[in-house]
Amino acid sequence: MYKTQYKNYISVIFLLFLIFFKGYSQKFFFSSDKDQLWLSTDLHIHSIFSDGTVWPSIRVEEARREGLDLIAITEHLEYQPHKEDIPNPDKNRSFFVASKALKNGEKLRVINGSEITREMPPGHINAVFVRDANLLLHEDSLSGIKEANKQNAFVFWNHPNWDAQRIDGMARLDKFHEYLIKNQLLHGIEVVNEFTFSEEALQIALENNLTILGNSDIHGITDWEHQISNGGHRPMTLVNVENQSEKSFKMALFEGKTVVWFKDLLIGKEENLKALIKDNLVFGPLKYIEGKLIGEVELTNKSMNPIKMEYLGDFSFHKRSNVFSIPANSKIILQIKTRIRKKKVSLPFRILNAVTAPKKTLNYTFILK
Ligand SMILES: [Zn+2]
Ligand SMILES: [Zn+2]
């Protein structure tokens, strides 16, 4: 009997150990090369200090549980519907409260931001890496945007497709936006906001060399909005950085090194999507089955997103068609009927859920040896 109890103790301790490490294990949504890193970020977040429904520390806890690397707290400067209960005279306050909720040594970071909230044009403009949010509040929006730039903030246009401000849901530039872009006062644009994806915003980003962004603009609870406990995730911006420092992160944002992860879509400039696919879709060595002229290769999806592929070349596969998908974090075997034994094979693919431009998906050729 004592022995059984002892065994039970051991099992309970082991179970607690597993729960503890599962809860605190670091998540990697996408793998990266050892000299590069894909940071997962959400640069558009509200709390009760503007029109959100939760205290800023809950934002930190959500991001921690979901495994994000960096979040920006971006309260509406002008729109303060809870001010009767929370007067909020210092517009940096929610950022301070969120920062205090961070634990020593954890990977998650919080940066300060603001949403300059105006009619169209310019609509809603976010500034992140803000030093003092109070100084961004002016009568006219342009003075606030100029001040954000004076503070070396990264400034972007939120939900340019928002149907409250564009009744046709079409993102388009007004003279004001053209002025901001021409004068380098605007650096990025949300191509994904909450539940929407805008092809027109993507086109504007590509034509004007703006950084492509996707953010949650969360007001309620991320788990409820994005079904995270059922395997969902909030929209996020993956940023390709050289190291984990804030300096490197900011530089990568200004350089436009981003890919948006929205549902099972990856959206970004071609070179950035190529870098992400290269790090996350990995072919093993090409082998031949004994006595056969059928090549065999293992293909691994190292990311937490399923990848849908269409083969564009002349070979055919032995056990599947030219269109298939690889679930998140899994491997498949591809048997290629090359007819003669080959030392090297190139396989051109279209990645069907990697969007590089409106109505255009990524072409990527894998070289197998
Ligand atoms: Zn907004
Ligand atoms: Zn917002």
Rg from Cα positions in the chain: 24
- Which ligand lies nearest to the CA atom of residue 159 in the structure? 1
Indicate the helix (H) or strand (E) that contains 192.
strand 188-193
Could you give phi then psi for residue 310, rounded to 5 degrees?
-130, 120
Instruction: Report CA(215)–ligand 2 centroid distance (Å).
Output: 9
CA of 47 to the centre of ligand 1 (A): 13
Is the peptide bond prior to 122 cis by the omega test (within 30 degrees of 0)? Answer: yes
DSSP string, 198-250: -HHHHHHHHHHTPEEEEE--BSS-HHHHHTGGGT----EEEEEESSSSHHHHH
* Burial (CB count within 10 angstroms: exposed 0-12, middle 13-18, buried 19+), residue 184: exposed
Q: Which residue has the tokens 């954890």?
A: 106
pLDDT by residue, tens only, the chain of 369 residues: 455 555 566 555 555 554 444 444 456 799 887 778 999 999 999 999 999 999 999 999 999 999 999 999 999 999 999 999 999 999 999 999 999 999 999 999 999 999 999 999 999 999 999 999 999 999 999 999 999 999 999 999 999 999 999 999 999 999 999 999 999 999 999 999 999 999 999 999 999 999 999 999 999 999 999 999 999 999 999 999 999 899 999 999 999 999 999 999 999 999 999 999 999 999 999 999 899 999 999 999 999 999 999 999 999 999 999 999 999 999 999 999 999 999 999 999 999 999 999 999 999 999 998
Q: Which domains does the chain have, with CATH numbers?
A: 26-263 (3.20.20.140), 280-368 (2.60.40)
284 contacts: CB under 8 Å, gap ≥ 6:
297, 298, 299, 300
Query: Could you tell me the distance, in angstroms and rounded to a whole number, from the CA of residue 159 to the centre of ligand 1?
Result: 7
What does pTM read for this prediction? 0.92
Residue 350 DSSP code: E
Q: Looking at residue 1, what DSSP letter applies?
A: -
Q: How far is CA 341 from the centre of its chain?
A: 42
Ligand 2 (single-atom ion) residues, CB below 5 Å? 115, 217
Tokens representing 317 are: 């596969």
